[in-house]
Amino acid sequence: MTPAMGLWAIFETACYPVAQVLLLCLVGAVLASRRVNKFSPDARKHLNHMVFLVFTPALVFVNLGPAATIAALWQWWFLPFSVLINTILGACLGYLVVALTKPPPHLVRLTVACCAVGNMSNLPLVLIGAICSNSGAVFGPECSSQGLAYSSYGMVMGVIAMWVFAYPYLEPPHETDELLNSLCHHRFESNDDRGLSPGLQATRDVVNSSTEPFADERIRGGPKCWEWQSFLGRQRWDRIITPPVSGVICAILVGAISPLKSALFGPNARFKLLTDVIVNLAAAMTPCMMLVLGGNIAEGPRASALKAQTILGIGCVRLIVLPVLGIGVLKCADALSLLPPNDPLFRFVVLLLSAMPTTHNIGIAATMHGTRELETSALLFWSYLASTLTIPVFMMLFLYYLL
């Protein structure tokens, strides 16, 4: 292959998955437009729930399960570790963006969190699936299954970073204090909503229903305040063990138990019917997610208090600086022999995860806290719009570097 043909092949390989994503998003945007108006916000919300609860866990399970073994997971340890490094570097650069752009005080934490936590779940799965379906010869015949297994494994640290670091970090301090003080002194009354955000009202309802059996004990002096704080801390596990992470855990368990693995995967699997059903559900993840993303983008950005220079700074950190630093991290890891030998697909997934825009879960966290929703919506709009340009460019650089 001549150098010119090689460059053209790299260009085609890098642009194909993004073009596929854009066309799917275009369908969603047309359906959600005012002229057609067949894809309402409620419809997008319900479809997004299906992507989160059913389709993504199914995709993760059917791709990670056959490849997951104890030896393989041990060999892949650098994938989640690279996501952790990416999060730490993003947070440090986020404080630099704050120092340079000086956002309003109530948006400082949002700025840092948006720089720190990227989309390590759905979007990499979509891009890896698309690039392997078009050009399996680039990374070999096992590109699709192996690449999706790598992405699924890296997803775990991204979810932990989101719900262990970003979610409590974004919580308004005064609301946290108000909730804890109320728990330490009295039970919330069901009809007392004054001054509480919707997210805090929901937390109040959970606390009331869960702590009712201890009402008499509280009247007699009750448990200590730290016990209630520990109770609230335990409630975060349902945010960490999300359905996609549950799919990862189930896939690892199945992969580690040989009889169960042979019963679900392979040409002679006893429960092949069940596996085929999960495969069909998994196939719906990419088109449904892209339709929702296109419909959301069609609405356009909302007016917010987040300055244009702050949005630009966050975009530069996540879409330009972190991918460049990701190449440096990978070179150091290669020099130290921390990566699986002769596996360019593994290295490509590590680099791709470093080039992702801000996670859409930031918007979910803002909604749960009942604050900074407009700013988050505007930021995500511009981030994902800009990523349609930066991702193919960096994919070309990554492929050129690796191949």
Q: What are the beta bridge partners of residue 358?
A: 118
Nearest to 145 by CA among 65, 74, 72: 65
Residue 244 burial (CB count, 10 A): 27
CA-to-CA separations, 138 to 14, 68, 133, 184, in angstroms, rounded: 11, 23, 11, 60
Report the b/e string of 286-324 with b at 16+ CB within 10 A.
Answer: bebbbbbbbbbbbeebeebebbeebbebbbbbbbebbbe
CA-to-CA separations, 317 to 46, 94, 284, 362, in angstroms, rounded: 32, 8, 32, 16
* Sequence-ordered list of residues with C-beta below 8 angstroms from that of 98, at least 6 positions apart, any chain: 108, 111, 112
Which residue ranges make up each domain of the chain? 3-174+240-402, 175-234
Burial of 259 (0-12, 13-18, 19+ CB in 10 A): exposed
pLDDT at 91: 97
pLDDT at 192: 45
pLDDT at 137: 59
In order along its 403 residues, the chain shows pLDDT tens digits of 444 446 777 888 888 888 888 899 999 999 998 889 899 988 988 998 898 899 989 988 998 899 888 888 899 999 999 999 999 999 999 999 999 999 999 899 999 999 999 998 788 988 988 888 775 557 878 888 899 899 988 888 888 888 888 888 888 765 444 444 444 444 444 444 444 444 434 444 443 444 344 444 444 444 444 444 554 454 456 667 888 888 889 999 998 898 999 999 988 889 999 999 999 999 998 899 889 888 888 877 777 788 899 999 999 999 999 999 999 999 999 999 999 998 999 999 999 999 999 998 888 788 777 778 788 888 988 999 999 899 999 999 999 888 7
Write down the pTM of the prediction: 0.79
Structure tokens belonging to residue 277: 């059903």
Structure tokens belonging to residue 87: 């999060």
Cα 118 versus chain centre, distance: 6
What backbone phi and psi angles, to 5 degrees, belong to 390? -75, -35
Judge whether 375 and 110 are in contact, CB under 8 Å: yes
Structure tokens belonging to residue 230: 């520990």
Question: 3-state class of 192 per DSSP?
Answer: coil
Structure tokens belonging to residue 393: 């460019």
What is the assigned CATH class of domain 3-174+240-402? mainly alpha
